Structure 1
Amino acid sequence: MSELPAEVALMWRLRDGSRRGPKPSLTVDDITRAAIDLADAEGLAAVSMARVAERLGNSTMALYRHVKSKDELLVLMSDAALERPDPLPDGVDWRTGLTFWAEGVMVAIRKHRWYSKLPIAGPPAGPNNLAWLDSALGALKDTGLPEGAKVGVVMGLMTYVHGEIRLSLDLAAGFRENPAAFSQYGEILALVVDSRQLPALARVLDARVFDEVSNFDEMSDEDFDFGLQLYLDGVAGFIERVCQDS
Structure 2
Amino acid sequence: MSEESNLASDLALLWGLREPSRRGPKPALTLEDIVRAAVDVADAEGLDAVSMARVAAQLGNSTMALYRHVKSKRELLVLMSDAALEYPPEFPDGNDWRAGMTLWAHGVFAAVRAHPWFLRIPISGPPFGPRNLLWFDRALGTLSDIDIPAEEKLSLVMGLVTYVQGGYRLQIELAEGRAEDPAAFTRDYAAGLRRVVDIQRMPALGRLVLEGVFDIEEPRGEDIDFDDFDFGLSVYLDGVAARIDRVT
Normalising to structure 1: TM-score of the pair? 0.94
Deviates more, 1:207-216 or 1:105-114: 207-216
What residue in structure 1 maps to residue 237 of structure 2?
Answer: 232
Structure 1 residues 181 and 226: alpha-carbon distance in aligned structure 2, compared to 1, 3 A threshold? same
Post-superposition shift, 1:91?
0.6
Deviates more, 1:214-223 or 1:112-121: 214-223
- Whether 1:221 and 2:226 are equivalent positions in the alignment is yes
- Whether 1:194 and 2:234 are equivalent positions in the alignment is no
Post-superposition shift, 1:24?
2.2
* Per-residue CA distance 1:109-149 (angstroms, 9 max, x = gap): 11011112111111101110000000000010011121111
- Whether 1:6 and 2:9 are equivalent positions in the alignment is yes
Matches within 5 A, 1:17-28: 17=20, 19=22, 23-28=26-31
What residue in structure 1 maps to residue 121 of structure 2?
Answer: 118
Q: Is the 8 A contact 1:182 1:215 kept in 2?
A: no
Post-superposition shift, 1:90?
1.4
Instruction: State the SS of the aligned residue for 2:74.
Output: helix
- Give me the whole-angstrom Cα distance separating, in 1, the residues matched to 2:127 and 2:54: 27
- Give me the whole-angstrom Cα distance separating, in 1, the residues matched to 2:221 and 2:95: 33
- Give me the whole-angstrom Cα distance separating, in 2, the residues matched to 1:230 and 1:195: 28
What residue in structure 1 maps to residue 69 of structure 2?
Answer: 66
Matches within 5 A, 1:32-43: 32-43=35-46
Structure 2, unmatched stretches of 5+, are none
Q: Is the 8 A contact 1:53 1:60 kept in 2?
A: yes
What residue in structure 1 maps to residue 111 of structure 2?
Answer: 108
Which amino acid in the other structure matches residue 205 of structure 1? Answer: V
Q: Is the 8 A contact 1:171 1:216 kept in 2?
A: no
* Per-residue CA distance 1:179-211 (angstroms, 9 max, x = gap): 221122122101110100100001111222222
Which amino acid in the other structure matches residue 95 of structure 2? Answer: V
Structure 1, unmatched stretches of 5+, are none
**How many pairs align?**
243
Calculate percent identity across the aligned residue pairs.
59
Which amino acid in the other structure matches residue 137 of structure 2? Answer: D
Matches within 5 A, 1:80-229: 80-184=83-187, 185-212=189-216, 214-215=219-220, 217-229=222-234
- Give me the whole-angstrom Cα distance separating, in 2, the residues matched to 1:34 and 1:41: 11
Deviates more, 1:37-46 or 1:171-180: 171-180
Deviates more, 1:111-120 or 1:53-62: 111-120
Q: 2:54 aligns with which of 46, 51, 73?
A: 51
Instruction: State the SS of the aligned residue for 1:210.
Output: coil
Q: Is the 8 A contact 2:21 2:69 kept in 1?
A: no
Which amino acid in the other structure matches residue 193 of structure 1? Answer: V
RMSD: 1.6
Post-superposition shift, 1:18?
6.5
Instruction: State the SS of the aligned residue for 2:205.
Output: helix
